[in-house]
Structure 1
Amino acid sequence: MENMLHGAPTTTTPTSLPGCFVFPPDQLVPATTAAVSLPVVDMSRSRDEVRRAILDAGKELGFFEVVNHGVPEQLMRDMEAVGAEFFGMPAADKAGFYSEDVNIPNRLYSGTIYETGGEQYWRDCLRLAYDFPAGDHVKDWPDQPQRLREIAGEYVVKARGVGMELLHLVCEAIGLRPHYFEGGISGGDVVLHVNHYPTCPDPSATLGLPPHCDRNLITVLLPGAVHGLEVAYNGDWIKVEPGPGALVVNFGQQLEVVTNGMLKSIEHRVTTSSELARTSVATFIMPAGDCLIGPAEEFVGEDNPPLYRTLTFAEFKRTYNVVKLGASINLARDLKNAQKKI
């Protein structure tokens, strides 16, 4: 567990849950008892089958898992291992990367700093930005563990490739021009979140991440072996149990805007465990800040008016930050309402 004392993280192991982590019971509605498997998109199938599977899964649940995706199994395991190794290093070795400044692209931050007060979430995160295709940001990544730069650099390129191929297939499935998601709309930094959820004294009273929708275009998640992801479905929460070797994919809010609500960005959250720490790795494909994003012309017309405002991604992020400042557990709902045209 990371804790901030005099500006630097130090290691502590709380035996009880500090009060600022505790949510009101009505904000911690438990998921259904059984874990469920997400719809599976097998990318080795015919292109037509894969397109239909993506569209069906996207409309039904907004989340799906992909198999035979081309990311080597060993690379996935190495990425999980090097992430866990980073968070296992002594606090002093990580202190130089620690920052609460959201404008720093590569940084370590922690939701487990409870001296500062306010509502906290039981998660630590190493945020790494990759300026595709050059990769110049890699030199600013931590140089320990020894292979972190090499493994994370290779992994983020592969994961982005999966996301972009899925976006091409989405275009074919819904009638967008083939290269709609090339250029500025996918031209921002690729952002890697190496998430670490330490063992928690009372998982029933807190969350690793609150309900939210991803603000980007599409997310590719390496979920790790320990369960924790939960997805909103039909007024309930369902526990996600990914299959072996699968990556979990969900649509971000910008894809919902482009399709004028046809494809949804779905709320999800992360729970914690008292027995096992969890490490996951999320790859976010982000638009460039000056990219203007609104409903595509293919999805608006006299009988189908635009549901969302057209904004640059930088303007959207400012809206996101304003909403987040006053957010409750309804962050995802409040953010969507802020961007809706009506």
Structure 2
Amino acid sequence: MDADPPFHEAYKTLFDKTIERNTPRNQLIDNKDNEQLVIVEECELPLIDLSRLNLGEPEREECKAEIARASKEWGFFQVMKHGISTEILEKMRFEQERLFKQPFHEKSKEDKYLRFSAGSYRWGTPSATNLKQLSWSEAFHIPLIDISPSGGFDSLGRESSTSNWVMWRTMLGHMDFTSSTTMEQFAATVSSLAQKLAGILAEKVSHKSTFFQENCLPNTCYLRMNHYPPCPIASEVFGLTPHTDSDFLTILHQDQVGGLQLVKDGRWISVKPNPEALIINIGDLFQAWSNDAYKSVQHRVVTNPLVERFSTAYFFCPSYDTVIQSSCEPSVYRKFSFREYREQVQADVQKLGSKIGLPRFLA
């Protein structure tokens, strides 16, 4: 039974349009479009050893300065000695592959195992009007609270539902509890890491506060497990279309296949995978909160015609009612709630086919 989503069947109209366009008269136009997929340069992101945060003041402060500098100049950086063991990362990769290898009709029936809330399993791009807007990938979006066995309370001691934790274990069915335990360990560590990095970045714009501890909780943050199947038309389609992240921080663990690209100095560059590192990138909310001190930059994933790719991303998000306000004046952006931001992004994607993001919220 086929495990990969039926991209060709679901997006037949888009594929037909492409075939119709690829006539000799239009070939020059299509070749020009495809040039956007060419890797300009492969590079290694700034690599920061977080164990230096546990050393004396000179080393600790220099490590913090490097984190802030990379966030300003790149919007991306890598961290090593991050607290997640190689064993956990390898188990995550193994369990993730096992999950995505289920037949497609099983993955898409969200009520079969009562596994996740509606809309957790996603694939393709329903709003796509052309192949350049189509993401050749599938993913499970999982709120952290869905995989936390915290006894029904969040980090502030408030009551929270554990029913989804039971659903997650039920979803594993014939599998053992390795998947849930592995994911729990991964989620707990990246959650702590995100809080630590957010605190450092706030400190480096002279704004020490409890904002992130109070607003970015397990019931507002989530994991996204990604799978990028081999793509027979890799020159025509992205694995994940160009975008910025609509959160404060994203922490990414990727395999060694590669495919992540980002914009640096006006050019697309390809990120060289590092087996020992996690990738951190700044999201739109942190750019607004820092008054443009830190940069949320465009990034994308290109497809591979032969090899599948896996990654897991942690999104450090506030509640929808949280108000995002610049940490200094004059402010580049007006005040807005996370709910307002998400609704505007969704409206733009539906209407225009792509995200506008922060330019919508200039002061």
TM-score, normalisation: structure 1 = 0.84
Q: Distance in 2 between matches of 1:60 and 1:41?
A: 14
Question: Does the CA-based 8 Å contact 2:110-2:118 persist in structure 1?
Answer: no
Q: Distance in 1 between matches of 2:193 and 2:118?
A: 23
Q: 1:244 Cα shift?
A: 2.1
Q: Distance in 2 between matches of 1:288 and 1:247?
A: 25
Question: Does the CA-based 8 Å contact 2:251-2:281 persist in structure 1?
Answer: yes
Q: 1:115 to 1:27 in 2, by over 3 A?
A: closer
2:82 aligns to what SS in structure 1?
coil
**1:308 is the counterpart of 2:315:** no
Query: Which one of 177, 195, 201 corresponds to residue 232 of structure 2?
Result: 201
Trace 1:200-219 onto structure 2 (pairs within 5 A): 200-219=231-250
Q: 1:210 Cα shift?
A: 1.0
Q: 1:34 Cα shift?
A: 3.5
2:188 aligns to what SS in structure 1?
helix
Residues matched between the structures, number: 322
Trace 1:55-204 onto structure 2 (pairs within 5 A): 55-97=68-110, 104=117, 107-111=120-124, 119-131=133-145, 133=155, 136=162, 137-141=164-168, 142-143=171-172, 145-146=175-176, 147-186=178-217, 188-204=219-235
The residue type paired with residue 138 of structure 1 is W
Q: 1:32 Cα shift?
A: 3.7
Instruction: Please give the per-residue CA displacement for 1:146-204, whole angstroms capped at 9, x wherever unaligned.
Output: 43222212211111111111111112222111433220255652211100000000211
Q: Distance in 2 between matches of 1:173 and 1:91?
A: 46
Question: Does the CA-based 8 Å contact 2:282-2:296 persist in structure 1?
Answer: yes
**Larger Rg over CA atoms:** 2
The residue type paired with residue 137 of structure 2 is R
Q: 1:75 to 1:10 in 2, by over 3 A?
A: closer
Q: 1:44 to 1:236 in 2, by over 3 A?
A: same
Gaps spanning 5+ residues in structure 2: where?
22-29, 53-58, 146-153
Gaps spanning 5+ residues in structure 1: where?
3-8
Which residue does the alignment assign to 1:268?
299
Single out whichever of 249-258 and 311-320 deviates more from structure 2.
311-320
Q: 1:63 Cα shift?
A: 0.3
Q: 1:93 to 1:328 in 2, by over 3 A?
A: closer
Single out whichever of 23-32 and 52-61 deviates more from structure 2.
23-32
Q: 1:28 to 1:338 in 2, by over 3 A?
A: farther
TM-score, normalisation: structure 2 = 0.80
Identity of paired residues, percent? 25
1:97 aligns to what SS in structure 2?
coil
Question: Does the CA-based 8 Å contact 1:51-1:172 persist in structure 2?
Answer: no
**1:36 is the counterpart of 2:36:** no
Q: 1:113 to 1:338 in 2, by over 3 A?
A: closer
Instruction: Please give the per-residue CA displacement for 1:18-56, whole angstroms capped at 9, x wherever unaligned.
Output: 562669653761344442100011101232121111111
Q: RMSD of aligned C-alpha atoms? A: 3.1
Question: Does the CA-based 8 Å contact 1:14-1:201 persist in structure 2?
Answer: no
**1:318 is the counterpart of 2:343:** yes
Trace 1:39-50 onto structure 2 (pairs within 5 A): 39-45=46-52, 46-50=59-63
Single out whichever of 137-146 and 284-293 deviates more from structure 2.
137-146
Please identify which structure carries the higher helix content: 2
Q: Distance in 1 between matches of 2:208 and 2:198?
A: 11
Instruction: Please give the per-residue CA displacement for 1:259-303, whole angstroms capped at 9, x wherever unaligned.
Output: 11111111100111011100100000110111111112xx21xxx
Question: Does the CA-based 8 Å contact 2:253-2:278 persist in structure 1?
Answer: yes
Question: Does the CA-based 8 Å contact 1:20-1:114 persist in structure 2?
Answer: no
Question: Does the CA-based 8 Å contact 1:188-1:285 persist in structure 2?
Answer: no
Question: Does the CA-based 8 Å contact 2:128-2:353 persist in structure 1?
Answer: no
